[in-house]
Amino acid sequence: MFINGEFVDAISGDTFEVSNPATGETLGRVPDGDARDAEAAIAAAHDAFGEWSRTTAYARADILMTAWRLMGERASELAALMTAEQGKPLRASAAEVNYGADFIRWFAEEARRLTGEWIPSARANQRFLSVQAPVGVVAAVTPWNYPMSMLTRKMAPALAAGCTIVLKPAEATPLNAKAIFEVFHDAGVPSGVINMVTASNPAPIGEVFTSDPRVAKLTFTGSTAVGRVLAGAAGASLKRVSVELGGHAPFIVMPDADPVHAAKGAAALKYLNAGQACISPNRLYVPSNLVDAFTETMATRVGRITTGDGSVEGVGCGPLVNDAAVAKVEAQVDDAVAKGAEAVVGGTRLTEGDHANGHFFAPTVLSGVTNDMIIYREETFGPVAPIIAYDDPDEVIDMANDTNYGLAAYVYTLDLSTALKTVEALRFGIIGVNDVNPTSASVPFGGMKDSGLGREGAREGLSEYLETKTAGIAL
């Protein structure tokens, strides 16, 4: 763990094992912290806040830019570590390292742009001054599926704003988190400003994060169920809360679209990170007259994907995070097939040969999916593309919006008017129009409804860590 500028053991002395999800190989052991460790980390962050919040924006920006450069210099080793601990193919890991570094650079630049404003008064002898100030100590909880970029997307704006932070990384990927903390430490972040508690059981840490009065803000990325619990507990003490939660993204092919082009986009996006992404397309709506061409293209491309250890050249789909994740995907596919869907490609666990010791499910394309199937209603978080045929373009928007989630959506069309009307009608926070990568450090990321509160990235992402203070000044 990392508390008050030092890597330390848990107070209990306990540790837990970290393994490679593709091979079952033990990668190491890390401290198994509890509530006492979380309290010590919060105390360090609280003590460091006063001095750190008074540093100039330029000084904070310089430290962040150093961290950005160090992350670039260590990109190869960081990517190799991510592939070993999280499982995604090496090329995808390298892309995430770059993506994570972009957040550090973006918020380093934004730190220098923190401004206030003079506001006119009706009184001739009065002036108003509005300024922004850091909220205080931030408690952060990050996921395993993007184990580096989700840290930098929270840490960089918090530090840019002048906050201190205590982070609990996912229990599946603590070594990735340690590597990121080494980057920030080596960049010159002062003692106590960043702190990390690792734990095999997140519940006691979450209880401290949400109840300790020294914590001013909670930020969480993960499942809707856990996010709802944490946000509710934090709300009891009126902490600032931002949560980025689950998704159930529709992928809409409009009647005027090229089905082959759309299918290529869907295939490129769906199987990234073995489908373990909150913005992964989960419901592929295709006009009935285009569904054969779309499905054929999807099947051809997905059939070429090699599944295995992400460190092996040519592997395009790595393992799932654990056996429970495989079981969930298998149950959804079995339910769909039992109710009339067809597994055009894949549809089974992979358990033989090189897959014997890992958590693998074959990249799968399901045709004939209907709304009575579990996969139609629930997020899969796995390498399965359910294709749903539709006939009425006026109803497909209602079908897409018929979910409690509202994170990401995608639409393929050749008509500008159709694109704009669809963007306006969809109840999702992120929408890709003929685009399967509608994200960047410079744009807001977040969802509606059960997909969360607040935004990360862009100016909005920095605002999540700032309070507004207004002074009325009599002359």
CA 297 to CA 265: how far, in whole Å? 10
Here the tokens at position 191 are 């003692």
**CB contact set of 159 (below 8 Å; sequence gap of 6+):** 60, 63, 64, 107, 165, 184, 189, 193, 194
Task: Decide: 471 and 128 in contact? Cβ < 8 Å.
Answer: yes
Quick check: 178 and 151 in contact, CB under 8 A? no
SS3 196: strand
Report d(CA 26, CA 328) in Å as an integer. 24
Q: For residues 100 and 440, what is the distance between their CA atoms, to the nearest angstrom?
A: 10
Distances (CA, A) of 314 to 1, 135, 306: 35, 46, 7
Give the N- to C-terminal CA distance of the chain in Å, as an integer. Answer: 52
- Residue recorded with tokens 């972009």: 102
| Dist. CA 373–CA 387, nearest whole Å | 12
Maximum distance among all alpha carbons in the chain?
82
- Please give the full DSSP string across 75-133, using - where no structure is assigned: HHHHHHHHHHHH---HHHHHHHHHHHHHHHHHHHHHHTT---EEE--SSTTEEEEEEEE
Element (H, E) at 19: strand 15-19
* Complete DSSP assignment for 223-239: -HHHHHHHHHHHHTTT-
Cα radius of gyration (the chain): 23
What does the block give as tokens for 238?
């009126």
Phi first, then psi: what are they for 2, rounded to 5°?
A: -130, 110
Rounded Cα–Cα distance for residues 43 and 166 (Å): 10
Angle between helix axes 57-73 and 90-111 (nearest 10 degrees) is 160
Residues recognised as catalytic: 244, 278
Residue with tokens 């100016």: 459
